[in-house]
């Protein structure tokens, strides 16, 4: 299966954390409705440093989800495709 992934990094100040989490919940709902899987991780040693992952079954589906995103995707063309190692 030609799965595809995008990665987005953000650094958020403590004062902006609640607002940022609202945006993350909105993004998650959008990507799930678009048939994607969505995860957010926070760096253990640096509070406020986040990385978001969005995965779809193919690059076209991920690109379409990016295009319809409620927040602009900073680099929508940066999509990674899975590499088969065997």
**Can you give the CATH number for the domain in which 18 is found?**
3.30.70.100
Instruction: Place 55 in a pLDDT band, splitting at 50, 70 and 90.
Output: very high
**pLDDT tens across 4-45, in order?**
999 999 999 999 999 999 999 999 999 999 999 999 999 999
Q: Residue 20 belongs to what domain range?
A: 4-81
Residue of 82, 70, 62 lying closest to 6 (CA atoms): 62
Which pLDDT belongs to residue 77?
A: 84
User: Which single residue is written with the structure tokens 């253990």?
Assistant: 44
Collect all residues with Cβ–Cβ distance below 8 Å to 63 and sequence separation of at least 6: 76, 79
In a domain, 47, yes or no: yes
In a domain, 27, yes or no: yes
Which pLDDT belongs to residue 1?
A: 62
In a domain, 86, yes or no: no
pTM given for the model: 0.88
pLDDT at 80 > cutoff 80? yes
In a domain, 60, yes or no: yes
């Amino acid at each position: 299966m030609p799965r595809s992934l995008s990665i987005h990094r953000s650094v958020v100040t403590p004062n902006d954390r609640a607002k940022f989490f609202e945006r993350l919940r909105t993004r998650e709902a959008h990507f799930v409705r678009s048939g994607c899987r969505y995860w957010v991780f926070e760096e253990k040693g640096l509070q406020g440093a986040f990385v978001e992952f969005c995965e779809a079954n193919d690059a076209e589906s991920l690109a379409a989800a990016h295009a319809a995103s409620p927040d602009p995707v900073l680099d929508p063309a940066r999509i990674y495709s899975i590499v088969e190692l065997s």
